[in-house]
Chains A and B, each alone.
Chain A
Amino acid sequence: SAVISQKPSRDICQRGTSLTIQCQVDSQVTMMFWYRQQPGQSLTLIATANQGSEATYESGFVIDKFPISRPNLTFSTLTVSNMSPEDSSIYLCSVMRASTDTQYFGPGTRLTVL
């Protein structure tokens, strides 16, 4: 497995503002992902963070709303832009090494938008 940290762990934000969430891994990983878990619901993949290139977004998610960076093999950020109350969710990053086929998840960032 890997040790994964996320910052912040939680935040309360005003609508119309943006929040950047950081994901740090203790060792190099092949792939990094960002998921959203809306209140009382399951996890949905937002995008795959690609090192050195643009992220790959799932249907229903766009770069203008959720810009993602991955400058190296151990770090990624997700920004939630122009937030509305509907963006209130837990945002989780996950990582995977190609040799294991297993995704490991960070502790999540609980976001509340007022």
Chain B
Amino acid sequence: AQSVAQPEDQVNVAEGNPLTVKCTYSVSGNPYLFWYVQYPNRGLQFLLKYITGDNLVKGSYGFEAEFNKSQTSFHLKKPSALVSDSALYFCAVRDPNTGFQKLVFGTGTRLLVSP
């Protein structure tokens, strides 16, 4: 069965500094990987995804993520953090080999960007 790990409950970074939010996954085959962001009292917003192709994918709001098959990781990155990036970030995986569409989510990482 597929699973996702987000090892950090919270990441603190100063505005203007680069940020990384970590995610590792486990699936039986080639994964579909996703990042979502949740602002307070809001639903989940899609940021980016990796299905196939280039290992570096770019998404909304200047975020990007790098798929690393050997390390089974899909870390979220941004070169310069903004205070408005402060939110809860979820990594999710889908195993297309199962024939099911379900997403399995990590436990979430709270990003706090200080001014």
Q: Which residues of A contact B (CB under 8 A)?
A: 1, 4, 31, 33, 41-45, 48, 58, 92, 94, 96, 101-108, 110
Give B68 Cβ to nearest chain A Cβ, in Å: 20
Give A33 Cβ to nearest chain B Cβ, in Å: 7
The answer to whether A43 touches B101, judged by C-beta atoms less than 8 angstroms apart, is no
Q: Which residues of A contact B32 (CB under 8 A)?
A: 101
Instruction: Bin chain B's interface residue count.
Output: 20 to 34
The answer to whether A48 touches B101, judged by C-beta atoms less than 8 angstroms apart, is yes
CA distance A43 to B107 in the complex (A): 8
The answer to whether A42 touches B102, judged by C-beta atoms less than 8 angstroms apart, is no
Partner of B43, one of A44, A96, A107: A107
Q: Which residues of A contact B94 (CB under 8 A)?
A: 101
Q: Which residues of A contact B34 (CB under 8 A)?
A: 102-103
CA distance A45 to B93 in the complex (A): 13
Q: Which residues of A contact B106 (CB under 8 A)?
A: 42
CA distance A44 to B90 in the complex (A): 12
Nearest-neighbor residue (CB-CB) of A109 within chain B: B43
What is the 8 Å Cβ interface bit string for chain B, positions 91-112, against chain A (1 contact, 0 not)?
0001000000111111110000
Q: Which residues of B contact A94 (CB under 8 A)?
A: 44, 103
Partner of B44, one of A41, A45, A105: A105
Q: Which residues of B contact A48 (CB under 8 A)?
A: 101-102
The answer to whether A101 touches B103, judged by C-beta atoms less than 8 angstroms apart, is no
The answer to whether A43 touches B105, judged by C-beta atoms less than 8 angstroms apart, is yes
Give B15 Cβ to nearest chain A Cβ, in Å: 26
Give B89 Cβ to nearest chain A Cβ, in Å: 11
